[in-house]
Structures are given as C-alpha cells and as structure tokens.
Structure 1
Amino acid sequence: MENPMFSGRRLTRRQLLAQGATLTAGAAAAAVAPAARAAVTAVTPTPVKPSSPATTPFVEPLPVYLPKQPVSGSLYPAPANTPGAGECGRPDHQRWANFAPAKFYELRVKPARHSFHPELPEQDVWGYDGMMPGPTFVARYGEPVLVRIHNELPANHVGYGSPEISTHLHNLHCGSESDGFTGDYYSATKYGPTMTGPGAYKDHLYSNCYAGYDSSSSTDGDSREALGTLWYHDHRLDYTAQNVYRGLSGFYLLFDELDSGDENDPNPAALRLPSGVGKYDIPLVFQDKQFDSGGYLAFDQFETDGILGDKFCVNGKIQPYFKVEPRKYRFRLLDGGPSRFYEFYLTFRGADQMFTYIANDGNLLPKPLMMSKIRLGVAERADIIIDFSKYAGGTLYLENRLEQVNGRGPTGNILKPGTQLLRFDVATTRTGPDNSRIPSKLRELPPVDLSEVVATRTFIFDRSNGGWTVNGKLFDVSKATVKPKRGTAEIWILKVNGDWSHPVHIHFEEGRILKRNGVAPPPHEQGRKDVYVLGNNEELRVFLRFRDYVGKYMMHCHNLIHEDHAMMIRFDIED
C-alpha cells in the first residue's frame, strides 16, 4: 500500500521542473494580485507533512550480514569481456587480459517484503538479493571479480522508483563500463541513452587493483591508493533517490596485506585491526525514512530541495540495538542519504565518550585520531574503533545531534540531547581473547606532485529556475563537460554559490583536498577522499589524478534529490 500524497506515477526531472516553472509563474501572478493571493491562501493552506506513526526504540537487533559467497563449481559460467546472451548492450570490458576475474558472483535486484519495525506493517521494498540493505561483499586486492547483476524488478511497476537499474560501486577504481554510469540503465525491455540494447542482466568487472597500476613499479599498483569501505547503490538517471530510498544499497569491503581483515595475522606488516566481517567488523548504513499514517514508506516526489524523514534506520531497522563483547570493534559508518547530514556522538550514562577514527571515505588515514564526534555528509564514510572493554555490563548509545530542517543542509545547531540511533548492550565477559590492536601508524599517503597538473578547472554548484546546476547548466547525459587525459593530474576548484550544503562526489579516483576556504583542511580530511562536503559559499581545491582507464564518469551532488534534478556533470577520460 502506498500513500497517494507521496507516491503515484513516476515523474521525470523534466516534468518536475516544468511543474516548478508553473508554480513559479503562479507565484508571479499572485505578486500582482495580493487580494487574490490572500483568498487562495485561505482556501488552500500549505500542506503539512504528516508525522510517521510512533515506534518504540531498541526493540529489534541490528541486522549484521556475513560475507556474500561466490558462485563455485559447475555453476561458474564462462565469463567474457564481450556481452553474453541475454545481457544488456554494454561496451566490452577494459583490460580483460590484466584483470580476468578470479571469482564470480550473482546479484539479483528484486522486490521483497521488509519490516522496518515490528510496530509498522511489513511492506514491499526493493533489494539486492531481496535484502535491505543488500549483501556485504568482501574482496581482496589482486583478486578481480565479476558480478552479474540481474534485474528482476516488475516492468509494470506503479509508484515512485524506476524498474530500470544501473549499479554504481562507490568508489572502485574500475572501467567506466562497470562504474554504473547513470545513463547505463537497463531492464529486459528498456535501456538507457548510453547503452545499445536491453537485457535481463549486466556483468560488472571489478578489477580490485590499486590506482596507478600502469605507472607503479609494483605489479599490483600503488598500495598507498588502497580503498577499504565502499558501498554500492543504484544510479539510474532521474531516479537514483527513489531507487535507493526503496532499498537499493549495500556494502563492498576491500582488504590487502596491510588491512588484511585478520586480527591474528602473523604478517608483521598487517595492522591487525578488529576483524571478522559480521562479528567484530561491522558495517552500519544510516538512512532516515518517512512513513504515512498507515505506517507505509512514503516519498515526496514534489520536493526538489531534499527529503528528510523522521525515522532513523540503521541497516534497515528503526533504532535497533546491538549486543557487543567487552573488546574492540571496528564500525564502518555510512551516511546512506538521501539528503540528511549527521554528527555522531557516543554516550555512556549521558556523558560523551572518545573513540578512534581510522578512515575517512573508506581510506585509512596516516595515523589514528582520537575523536568525540564525527560529521558525515551524504555518502561520506568513517571507520571508527570503539573499545568496549571498560564498559562491561553497561549500555552506550550512538546519537545524532546535528539539526537539519530542510534540504539546504544542516543549520549548524547542535542539539543536546540528540536522537539516539543505535544502542550498544555490552556483555560482562568476552567469548575469547581480543588480539586486535590500534597501531600508531595506518596507511602512508601517496605524495601530491603538483608538477603532474596540466589543468585547473572551476565548478560552481548553484540553483537555477528550480533545477540544480553545475556552472549554470543542467546535466546532459550525452555530452562530456570536460575531457581529462589519462595519465595526467588536474586541480578542480569546487564552489557553492549560496546558502546550501552539497556533498560532491567525484567518481573513479580519490582526490586530496589542498585547501578548504584558503587554508589547510582539518586532520580527518587530509587523507584521500571521494566525497567533498561544501557548505555555505565554501570553496575547495582538490588534486585529482586520472589513471589506468578511459571512458565516461560523473561528478555530482550526493544529496540524491539534487542529483536527480540535474546537479551532475559527465567527464570523459581520454588518451
């Protein structure tokens, strides 16, 4: 069941912009007829978004997934770099000879029944493998994988969301044909403007190689470029927010010799961080939701600034609890959007507690930072370590204190108390020894060589005629705004015009913030990043490289409503 106020037929960005223009014209007419305006206001007051039904916090456990398993044995197909029978019309895979897959996975995008909370009705969502969030992938550098993504969504779907999909693995270093470009959407009967035909599935080749593969003296690339916490989500043109809101997101974790995923690793180079995905290494995706009076998930298609919910889900459950042992845990925090920012605090008996910050945007920092709070924009990630050993038998809370009342972004006010999102129930004893550690050094940063820079480009994120623009233009899926050369570096200046917050995501490679508003960024932003949060009239200078692959990629605001309303550019890497 769907609330007609928030659901109904799917509307494209162009239709919404046209409606916005109509409303703007109506407002202009009202400006010259105040009496008429007063009469209209009296008859049709501004609608107020209803509150979601009340729910009791901390009645369900946190969903935690074990790693997804590859297909093996006789079920393993004969993969190829060219499209197979029944596959959509994608380009051939780049660098197949370098990265022929060692493992094969199948992922099915399909409707499913889901319970957000036992006091709300079970309802229809969309999920990878029918799960919300989708299954967690665990991969390793040097082991390329092929993921066959089947689209099993109903072609006759009615309501918000699109049954065509394009899956983006944020922010893997891979060929553009596997990046999930927004125009590469497909189903068995339809296909996007940058594809050549429909298909029931699409093969994604995830090379799991370090950036700098071609230029590094190592056969695997530059290990200083390693990623750790990635996530995948739908990126369908005009419908990213709606499809992700329906459930299409999940985690993809990468390990290597340094961050090996084994706290008992005898290799002296291994960090031995808290390990065991689903045991002591826990991914957490935070997403706010709005429900109608009947308790069904609602989405306001007419809100173009950004949508906020009044219920907070962690791994698809409203305010769950998590039972932990009195030992160290690694938590991978992800702001899954669509529009809300968070500032997280850890509390015990009402007092703020310290934790260890080890990675930003999935990239290990050079050394750990002791923190009492952390702010995330949409799609930003933070890996933290919490040592529960001194809280045996106690209860802690992870709470959000950042005030946000609309799609402009956070107000800057810090609320105390905030909203408790996740409760930790600490056992009195451990089930075994804790051999994990927090080393004094994590991952060395690659150097920034400004002599590589061949161009400096400026991108201004703004609003125009009801749409969201970059350099005054709406997104054109068929046209590259810029065409950087493979093997070069550039400086991109990112600027916000106005009192808005834009978490800007650049696909393909991590960058380095050189300056934030003319000064060095804070310590947690001095590592490698792929989401660059811009606030009121802010400016960032970002150093970027373009290596190993060519093809079409994107830069966009990751407030998914802004993205769907055209705040995006295409850039093509060329030889």
Structure 2
Amino acid sequence: MPLRRDVLKWSIAASGAGLLPKAARAAADPKAMLVYLCPPDGEAPELATPSPPARPFVQPLFVPPIKQPVERLVPPPDPRAHQLYKDYLPRKFYEIREQEFVWCYHPDAPYDKGSGSWGFDGSTPGPTYHARYGEPVLVRRYNELPTVGVSKVNFALPSTTTHLHNGHTASESDGQPQDWIDSGEFWDHHYANFPARQDPREKLTTLWYHDHRMDFTAANVYAGLDGFYLLFDDEDSGDENDANPRAWRLPSGDYDVPLIFHDILFDENGQVRWNSFNTDGILGDRYTVNRKIQPFFEVEARKYRFRLLNGGPSRFYRFALSTGKPFCVLTGDGNVLPEPIDADQIYLSVAQRVDVVLDFSQHRPGDRIHLVNNLEQTNGKGPSGRTLDPPVPILEFRVKAATGPDPSRVPKRLRPLPVVDMSLVKQHRVWEFDYDGGLWTVNGKVFEPNRIDAGVERGSAEIWTIRNGGNSWSHPVHCHFTEFIILEVNGRPIHPTTLQDHVDGRHVFTENLDPDNGKRPRVHTFMGGQRRDVATILPGDEIKVYIRFSDFLGKYVMHCHNVVHEDHAMMIRWDIVEPGKGFVGSRSVRQVYGTPPAPPHLEPRPANGTQQADQVEDDR
C-alpha cells in the first residue's frame, strides 16, 4: 500500500504540474516538489472557528474500567510468531476490540447528541490493564471498525496497530507503524512483563497503549484509540494495605486514578473536527480529561495517586494547583524516581507521564480545587514560552469527608537508577530533528519503512545525541523499546542527583546534595527525571542520552510524539541485530536481511487456526 505522502507527491507531479514553477517541472525531482505539500497560503487556523461553548465542571470524570482476562483464545496463539514465548508463557489472555460508537463529551447541546468516536470495548479511553512483573500476558486485538465511507469518523483510517508505550516488548508485539491490520482482522501482542535484562531497576509503572498506524497515528488517536497499561510488582504493589515490608503502600484501588488529557476541536454540531492539511500540529479549544470536557471528580479528604498523561496530539501542558500547593512527584514518564520530589508545576510534552500524590486531608468537605494549565501555546509547533494569565482550569476536585482511615503513605525512597556502564558503548549517533520542504525530517530524511537508519547490536549500549535543528518549534522525541538515561542537556552534565527545572523559559539545574535531610527535594517546574522515554527538545535544545539494547531482535522506531509531525515523516527506523552485525548509516531492509527481506528471528505464521492448534499441541 503506498504511503499517503507518496500519493500526494505523485498526484501533484502528475495532475498539477502545470501549477508548479517551470524549474520544478523541468527538474522532475520529487524531493524538490515536497515544498508544495504545505497547506494553502492564508488558510485560517483551526482556532479561528471556535468549538461550541461548554460549561465547565458539570459532569463527573469518567474512570475507565479495569480490563478482565478471558479463559482462552480461539484460535490459540502461535508460539512461533513470538520471541521468547516459551520462556515467558502467558499466564493471562485478553481480548480487546477496536470499535466505533457514539461518545458524549459533554451534556450540553450540541454535544449532548454525542460524537462519532473510536475506542476499545466501547469506551475511550479504553479499559485499563493491571499487569504484574513476572506474569506474562497475551492480548488479542480485534479490529472491528467500520470501513472507509461507512464510519461516523470521517478523518481517521480503520487500519490500525497498537503500540504499548514504552513497554520492553519484542518487535512483533510492539505495535510498529507498518504492522497494521484492517477491519475484520486480529493481531496477537505478547507482553512478557519482565524488566530489561531482569534488572529490577529497569522496571516501569505507568504505560499507555495507543494506535500507531503509519501516516495516521494522529488521526486515529484523536478519534479515541488509546488507554492505560499499569505495571505492578512487590514494591509498587497496587495495595495500600500490603503487609509486605518492601511494599510502598501508595494510594490504590479507587484512590489510584489514571488521567489522560486531550485538547479537541468540535464543529457547530458537536462533532469532533480534524484538519488534514495542518502539518504543524493540531490544537483544540476544549480540554478533555478521559475524553470528558472539563469534568469534576469527587475526592475524599485523604491521599490519592493520579497518573497524568498528555495524550496529544500537539499541545504541551504546564500544570499547577489552584491552591498553590506542590505536587508530590513519583515518576517521570513510566519511570519511578529514586525519591519523591515536590514540584510547584508539572511540565508535560506530548506522551509524557507523571504520577503524583495529592493529599486532600487538609481540606474541608465542600472545598473545590482546580488542576490548571498555565502554558500558552498558539500553534502546533510548540509552546510560546509565555504564561497564561489567567490559567485554564481543566479538572475540578470536589472534597468530601473520608469514609475511613487512610493507610496509604509516600515512602522516602523509591527505585534507584540503572547503572550507566560506558564500557558497553559501541556507537555514538546524532539525530537532528528539523523541517525541510514542507515535511518534518530526521537527519534531513523523511521516514521510509524499508530503510534502516541504525543497526544496533543486541547486548550493547550507545550514546545518542538528540538535537533540535530549528528555533521556532519543540519536539517530544520518543524512542520505542527501551528507556534512556540523560547524560547532558545543552552541554550541561546531568548526574543522578541533578534536578532539572524550567523557569521563565530557561532550563535550570540544581543538585540534591543532601538526600537525607528529612525534606523532599523541591523544584519550580518538574521536567521529568533523568531516566525517560520522551526527550523534550525545546527550540535549540540538544540532549545526550545513554541507551542499552537487550533481550530481543527486530525493528523499532524513534519519532516526534507531536503525532502530526510523526505522520508527516518525522520518524526513523532502527533495528536490533545480532552482535557483530551492527552498522552506522542507512541501509535497505534487503541489504540487512536479504531476500525475502524478513528478520530471521520469526517463523512464518500458520495459515489457519487448525495449524495453530496443531502447533500448540506439538509444543506441549
């Protein structure tokens, strides 16, 4: 299937050549013509036509249900289709269904009639997985979306692939952009749920799953295809009454609440609106939390754990509380910090996550507290750097009396960082994110799924420098498969004790030199910990990171998580290859894997369910 941008490119070349300058026509150079993929001059921004008004805080927060396993899958999964399957046999099986339905974003007209939406198992966000380390699972994902021309969602593509962001997952289960299924098909995802190299310091906590279909990630996620995947273990056990002395006893159950933020545009009829010509990034004027416009949430006068996730597609947030009180920060992205940190504000670029604990015990029943966004952003390229005054309230907490004692706590210590072993480093690579000829590029190239831009040896480590080549846009850069450790920001060394802050548009760094002074470290604006899966590069930024690659082989990607930029080609493919077979520079898939161009670690999938069943019996 040709890429959307190729279709546009050659359509322009074939049918619109008479509109191009003579030099471009004479050159017959597709790259030279890419400049004409820009939106038409003078096109009005989306926000010039505002969404219908909607009263804030008149509807309750939607909390997605917990996903429940099934007894078995029919046909059974094919063990040959998954790396390390026999080493990590699934203990639980899940079926999840991508579906279309009508979703009510707000009870006021015209929203009360609902908008055509996509999601999982009838809701958006989809159900929340509660998974545990040491308990592998297999998720069978069915695409039950209506075909093009039939769907109520007229801007997305019912061809999907779901990425578990940022699971330590084999390539074939990662949800790669080119591994899509169409309506009526299913895909099996094997989530082994073990930390990289079995190192407990590599464990994760708050992950999320979302569509990652090549060229249509932004539209498909905007349509509703995302949800949470939470990982637990003996420390982060998900039980505030846990008697295990190793357990942290963080707020759990009804007091552990995932929150995904999307800003959305609506038309005059209350239907979700999308602009396919916008290549900078889509901004909405209605702020949603778990796909409800500015909801309220009743909280008891006790501690809560909130998992904040910026679901995009393009807006950055800087969150604060209307009370002026700090957040108690537990994580940066899916990574638990070495110790909790107090922060007056939380900075979230697209796809970043931060787990916080908020204690409402000092408030009286009837008090109302707002989570507000104070970061100005006027276009999809990134924040302006200015502060919104007044800020925009997004979620209202309504305090009520506690129903019982609060057994939860916040420990003084959490999880140490993985060790940086420079002796394992095999390569240093530079990745420059920039804009060229109407498309977003990495190292001057647009994404090509049959081109591998880095061959990384399994078992090695590398140093990657991630650079912003522009001075008027920001990029949240996400690398699949593995977390990275930040070594430098704009030439400033980062140590395990370094706290990165952001004040008045500038990066600020302090050293937490006395972690045993009895007080939590405090920053003005939390930008994320040293270990992350999203590198937020603001205009002119350069971040140097340390990455290790272990356990699996196969294809992965790195891309800008302003998913409009991603869909307009700001992505690279990199592969984990056998030791001794690594390479620098770009190579075709055929050069690396031969003919047919298939990674050698996967067996052909059986043609039907009978063969699958026979294979399972043989494996037993």
Where on the TM-score scale, by shorter chain, does this alignment land: which range? 0.7 to 0.9
Aligned counterpart for 1:286 among listed residues 242, 257, 261: 261
How far apart are the structure 2 equivalents of 1:459 and 1:554? 13
**Partner secondary structure for residue 555 of structure 1:** strand
Aligned to 1:516: 489
| Maintained 8 Å contact 1:167/1:235 | yes
Aligned counterpart for 1:201 among listed residues 174, 179, 186: 186
Shift of 1:244: 0.3
Instruction: Provide Cα deviations, 1:120-178, integer angstroms capped at 9, x if missing partner.
Output: 13121011112111110000000000000000011234621111110100011011000
How far apart are the structure 2 equivalents of 1:452 and 1:207? 25
Aligned to 1:129: 121
Aligned to 1:253: 230
2:543 pairs with 1:568: no
Aligned to 1:171: 166
| Maintained 8 Å contact 1:17/1:466 | no
Aligned to 1:545: 548
2:342 pairs with 1:370: yes
How far apart are the structure 1 equivalents of 2:492 and 2:6? 39
2:271 pairs with 1:308: no
Aligned to 2:77: 80
Aligned counterpart for 2:145 among listed residues 133, 153, 156: 153
Aligned counterpart for 1:415 among listed residues 381, 388, 391: 388
How far apart are the structure 2 equivalents of 1:402 and 1:26? 41
How far apart are the structure 1 equivalents of 2:216 and 2:282? 14
| Shift in CA distance, 396/18, structure 1 to aligned 2, threshold 3 Å | farther
How far apart are the structure 1 equivalents of 2:21 and 2:386? 34
Q: Which piece of structure 1 moves more, 149-158 or 306-315?
A: 149-158
| Shift in CA distance, 270/48, structure 1 to aligned 2, threshold 3 Å | closer
How far apart are the structure 1 equivalents of 2:341 and 2:166? 23
2:407 pairs with 1:435: yes
| Maintained 8 Å contact 2:305/2:355 | yes
Aligned counterpart for 1:337 among listed residues 305, 312, 324: 312
Shift of 1:20: 9.1
Instruction: Provide Cα deviations, 1:483-535, integer angstroms capped at 9, x if missing partner.
Output: 10000000000001112100000000000110010113534544321011001
Letter in structure 1 aligned against 2:264: K
Aligned to 2:475: 502
Letter in structure 2 aligned against 1:291: F
TM-score (norm 2): 0.81
Q: Which piece of structure 1 moves more, 100-109 or 521-530?
A: 521-530
Shift of 1:26: 7.0
| Maintained 8 Å contact 1:113/1:122 | yes
How far apart are the structure 2 equivalents of 1:390 and 1:228? 28
Aligned to 1:39: none
| Maintained 8 Å contact 1:366/1:527 | no
Aligned to 1:361: 333
**Partner secondary structure for residue 84 of structure 2:** coil
How far apart are the structure 2 equivalents of 1:255 and 1:24? 57
How far apart are the structure 1 equivalents of 2:408 and 2:143? 40
Aligned counterpart for 2:5 among listed residues 13, 16, 31: 13
Shift of 1:93: 0.4
> Unaligned regions of 5+ residues in structure 1, if any?
1-9, 30-43, 83-90, 189-198, 213-220
| Maintained 8 Å contact 1:355/1:387 | no
Letter in structure 2 aligned against 1:13: R
How far apart are the structure 2 equivalents of 1:430 and 1:160? 45
How far apart are the structure 1 equivalents of 2:454 and 2:172? 18
| Maintained 8 Å contact 1:16/1:302 | no
**Partner secondary structure for residue 322 of structure 2:** strand
**Partner secondary structure for residue 389 of structure 1:** coil
Instruction: Provide Cα deviations, 1:296-353, integer angstroms capped at 9, x if missing partner.
Output: 11000000010100000000100000000000000000000000000000113xxx11
| Shift in CA distance, 540/17, structure 1 to aligned 2, threshold 3 Å | farther
| Shift in CA distance, 17/288, structure 1 to aligned 2, threshold 3 Å | farther
* Alignment root-mean-square deviation, CA: 2.1
Aligned to 2:196: 211
Aligned counterpart for 2:294 among listed residues 319, 327, 337: 319
The percent identity for this pair of structures is 50
Aligned to 2:241: 264
Shift of 1:18: 6.8
Instruction: Provide Cα deviations, 1:428-459, integer angstroms capped at 9, x if missing partner.
Output: x2111101101110111111111111110000
2:83 pairs with 1:94: yes
Aligned counterpart for 2:136 among listed residues 144, 150, 161: 144
Shift of 1:68: 0.9
**Partner secondary structure for residue 564 of structure 2:** helix
| Maintained 8 Å contact 1:149/1:203 | yes
How far apart are the structure 2 equivalents of 1:26 and 1:459? 35
How far apart are the structure 2 equivalents of 1:118 and 1:415? 27
How far apart are the structure 1 equivalents of 2:385 and 2:569? 26
| Maintained 8 Å contact 2:126/2:227 | yes
| Shift in CA distance, 157/93, structure 1 to aligned 2, threshold 3 Å | farther
Aligned to 2:436: 464
**Partner secondary structure for residue 492 of structure 1:** strand
How far apart are the structure 2 equivalents of 1:66 and 1:455? 44
How far apart are the structure 2 equivalents of 1:472 and 1:289? 31
| Maintained 8 Å contact 1:113/1:124 | yes
Equivalent positions of 1:530-541 (< 5 A) are: 530-541=533-544
| Maintained 8 Å contact 1:11/1:301 | no
Shift of 1:78: 6.5
How far apart are the structure 2 equivalents of 1:20 and 1:328? 58
Aligned counterpart for 1:111 among listed residues 100, 119, 126: 100
| Shift in CA distance, 76/58, structure 1 to aligned 2, threshold 3 Å | same
Aligned to 2:360: 388
Shift of 1:48: 5.3
Aligned length: 518
Aligned to 2:69: 70
How far apart are the structure 2 equivalents of 1:19 and 1:299? 22
Aligned to 1:5: none
Letter in structure 1 aligned against 2:82: H
How far apart are the structure 1 equivalents of 2:379 and 2:21? 24
| Shift in CA distance, 457/285, structure 1 to aligned 2, threshold 3 Å | same
Shift of 1:13: 2.9
Letter in structure 1 aligned against 2:412: S
Aligned counterpart for 1:485 among listed residues 457, 464, 470: 457
> Unaligned regions of 5+ residues in structure 2, if any?
23-40, 501-525, 579-620
